[in-house]
Structure 1
Amino acid sequence: MFGEILMRLRKQKKLTQEELASVLGVARTTYSSYEQNRRMPDAEIQNKIADYFNVSLDYLHGRQEKDNDGIAFFDYDDLDETDLAKIEGYIEALRQQKKDAERFKKEKK
């Protein structure tokens, strides 16, 4: 499970294994073994991964379904850039609606 989550996070950021391995200070082959669940990174590397992606260790280990922003993870692999932009736009529109509703409530008082 750890490896699958790690791969999803990396792909969401559009990073290669080589790029993320460099950030973590490990060889690409070592990093690859993490994604393939052949090897588990030590505590220091796990903390670096969690910090880099702004997720909890529980999230990395599949014990929590949401990241630190409270957003549930979805599999975006089959979506293109246009689809992702639409999703981001929709999320922003929902946030704006919420802000507007709160402001309207305050103005009514």
Structure 2
Amino acid sequence: MVIFMTAKDVGLLGLRIKELRKEKGLRQSELATTLHVSQQAVGSWETGRTVPGADTLNVLADYFNVTTDYLLGRDGKEENSTDTKDLSEIMNSIMTYNGKELNQHDKDVVEGLISAYLNNKE
């Protein structure tokens, strides 16, 4: 099975693998040993240089107790859905960044920065 992904999707997949690995307190080498792959393979997934195959994606989902849709950045809705979320909804749903928990103040600051940026665009 071949998985076609955009650069954005590949980056999100890598970010999710890295965050889940860190939540478990694992080094790349430890995850690699568990999955029977090289540490370089895990590093390549996390940086978006490569993507795991479909079988490995299933193993990752099972290991981290998440769905493959979650790993791939899908929320179960059709890709062409017109359903959108407001920035404030998204910020309220974010719990961590790079494995570090965000408090409400952190979320407010990030939301303010994004809002200021978008309001000052051409």
Find the counterpart in structure 2 of residue 107 from structure 1.
Answer: none
Aligned: 1:10 with 2:21: yes
Letter of the 1:30 counterpart: A
TM normalised by structure 2 equals 0.55
C-alpha RMSD over aligned residues: 2.0
TM-score, with length taken from structure 1: 0.62
- Give the Cα–Cα distance (whole angstroms) in 2 for the partners of residues 37 and 61 of structure 1: 12
The alignment of Structure 1 onto Structure 2 pairs a total of residues equal to 74
Please list every run of 5 or more consecutive structure 2 residues that lacks an aligned counterpart in the other structure. Answer: 1-11, 77-92, 102-122
In structure 1, C-alpha distance between the alignment counterparts of 2:52 and 2:66, rounded to whole Å: 16
Map of 2:68 onto structure 1: 57
TM-aligned CA deviation for residue 73 of structure 1: 6.0
1:73 and 1:55 map into 2 onto residues whose CA distance is 17
- 1:15 aligned counterpart, secondary structure: coil
Structure 1 moving runs of 4+ over 2 Å: 76-79
Structure 1 position 78 matched with structure 2 position 89? no
- Look at both structures and tell me which one has the larger radius of gyration over its CA atoms: 1
> Highest relative contact order (Cα 8 Å, sep 6+), 1 or 2?
2
Provide structure 1 residue ranges, at least 5 long, that are not aligned to the other structure.
66-71, 80-109
Q: CA deviation at 1:48?
A: 0.6
Instruction: Give the AA of the match of 1:12.
Output: E
Match of 1:26 among 21, 33, 37: 37
Return the offset for 1:78: 3.2
Point out the structure with the larger helix share. Answer: 1
Q: Match for 1:78: what amino acid?
A: K
Identity of aligned residues (%): 41
